[in-house]
Amino acid sequence: MIYEMRTYTFHLGKLPAYLDLARNVGRPVRGQNYGTNHGYWTSEFGALNQIWHLWSYASLDERKRLQGELSKNERWAKEYVANVRPLIARQDIRFLNPVYGVNPPAKEGGFYELRMYRMNPGRAAGWAAAFRDIMPVREKYSRNIGIFTGEAPQPNEVWHMWNYQDTKERTAARAALFKDAEWSGFLERNSGAIVEMNNVMLLPTDYSGLK
């Protein structure tokens, strides 16, 4: 199994037009027939005018095959791609290996926090495995949606996603977490692996699988 996170950055003012195209053409045409879509989000803080969407495929070879079939779909080519291209300023892709999840939220609503950690070379897989193993402790405080390690273009990364109903819930959860002795032990045992940490707040679209 391979996951693909696609991030599209739009020209100023063009995001609403893209959302309409995705809702009315892109998602109905593509469905789950050319890869499985797990979530569709807009960014709220940090880089704006972005859409993030998460897909999975049985393998990279299967992805290539399905992408080829999709390109032959007349509605996809003429009604969707031709109209979307002028809206997009930039496209970024990450291929991700699953470690834990993808898990549904405890309840719908709220927002998703995607955390992206750049690791020291050779540390990503071990850190991600230890992180997966500490999930019974970590998930006492908030719901984990998924943990992934980078495949390409950045192999030394760990990505993980969380769901919160609001920012107050997130603040309270993280405050309680850092008082947990088992969590402190995990941090101490696995120190020195992380080089850089980034996050983004994502709001689900009305056609996102994860809401």
- Tell me the per-residue pLDDT of 178-188, one tens digit each, with 9 for 90 and over: 999 999 999 99
Kindly report, residue by residue over 25-70, the tens digit of the pLDDT: 999 999 999 999 999 999 999 899 999 999 999 999 999 999 999 9
In terms of Cα–Cα distance, which of 143, 71, 155, 173 is closest to 117? 155
What's residue 108's pLDDT? Answer: 87
Second-level CATH architecture of 2-96: 2-Layer Sandwich (3.30)
SS3 sequence of 136-177: HHHCCCCEEEEEEEEEECCCCEEEEEEEECCHHHHHHHHHHH
pLDDT beyond 90 at 11: yes
Kindly report, residue by residue over 183-210, the tens digit of the pLDDT: 999 999 999 999 999 999 999 999 999 9
Task: Say if 2-96 and 97-204 have the same CATH topology.
Answer: yes
Would you tell me which CATH number, out of the four given (3.30.70.100, 3.30.1370.60, 3.40.50.2300, 3.30.70.1560), belongs to the domain 97-204? 3.30.70.100
Q: Where are the domains of the chain?
A: 2-96, 97-204
Q: How far apart are CA 165 and CA 144, in angstroms?
A: 13
Kindly report, residue by residue over 77-105, the tens digit of the pLDDT: 999 999 999 999 999 999 999 999 899 99
Q: How far apart are CA 72 and CA 65, in angstroms?
A: 11
Q: How far apart are CA 80 and CA 21, in angstroms?
A: 7
Kindly report each contact of residues 103-109 with a partner whose C-beta sits within 8 Å and lies 24 or more positions away, as own/partner.
103/143, 103/144, 103/145, 103/146, 104/145, 104/210, 105/143, 105/145, 105/163, 105/210, 105/211, 106/143, 106/163, 107/165, 108/211, 109/165, 109/211
